[in-house]
Amino acid sequence: MLHDLFPPGVQHALDLAGIFVFATAGALLAVRKNFDVFGIVVLALVTALGGGLFRDLAIGAVPPAAFGELSFFLTPLIAAAFVFFLHPEVQRINRAIAVFDAAGLGLFCVTGTTKAYEYGLGLTASASLGLATAVGGGVLRDVLVNEVPSLLRDREMYAVPAVVGASMVALFIEFDALNGVTTGLAIVTTFVLRLLAMRYHWRAPLAWNRRSAVAEEP
């Protein structure tokens, strides 16, 4: 479906850009945790490819795209090497990386939803796998470094924009309105929501009547 909306070369380039940014974010976390080179590579791979691997296995798209396309596997390795040698410089542009990460979030929630629908899933299941594609790698990354996944403590609303973007795609499919313009609208909406959340420190609601000033449990 998505390959009918964008030329194959454009779609491939967007996928690689998203993978590179996610892998860079994972590798930077590994550096901050003082992991060795193997840990940096593993965290880069898991962050970049984990969500897509889960989606492909869930819908029966085997072998997963990460293994069927060599560039998808090599791109996180390049990002890991980039961070390994140049992490002080990369840290200085960490905010810019967060912006690109927001763009990757928008792209992956859309591609994940459309691919799941292509494999015969219903709209709700497709949107759920769109979310999993966008945030699944981050969940695996956080588990590996022994942190509560950001999906469960959605500081600065990371998952919520992906839910919005995936839901928009599902609605466009339902009303036969999915095209290049509406797909771009879903990506941009996710991207802008994520940027606004970072700018204004928005977060998902806490439990009813629980004040945000109350200390979180470890």
Q: Which residues contact 31 (CB under 8 A, 6 or more apart)?
A: 40, 83, 84, 87
Going by pLDDT thresholds of 50, 70 and 90, the confidence category of residue 139 is very high
Q: How many angstroms separate the most distant Cα atoms in the chain?
A: 50
131 falls in which pLDDT band (50, 70, 90)?
Answer: very high
- 144 has a pLDDT exceeding 60: yes
Closest listed residue to residue 33, CA positions, set 128, 106, 141: 141
Q: What is the dihedral of CA 97, 107, 133, 170, to 10 degrees?
A: 150
Other beta carbons within 10 angstroms of residue 169's beta carbon come to 31
Q: Which two tokens stand for residue 30?
A: 């590994």
| Residue 154 binned pLDDT confidence (cut-offs 50, 70, 90) | low
pLDDT band at 180 (very low <50, low <70, confident <90, very high): confident
Give the span between the Cα atoms of 91 and 77, in whole angstroms.
18
The answer to whether the CB of 50 falls within 8 A of the CB of 141 is yes
The DSSP annotation for 184-216 comes to HHHHHHHHHHHHHHHHHT-----STT--TTSPP
**DSSP code of 60?**
T
Q: What is the pLDDT at residue 90?
A: 73
pLDDT exceeds 80 at position 54: yes
Q: Which residue has the higher pLDDT, 20 or 11?
A: 20
Q: Average pLDDT of 81-102?
A: 82
Tokens of 61: 């798209």
- Average pLDDT on 95-120 reads 88
Query: Peptide bond before 7: cis, by omega within 30 degrees of 0?
Result: no
pLDDT at 15 > cutoff 80: yes
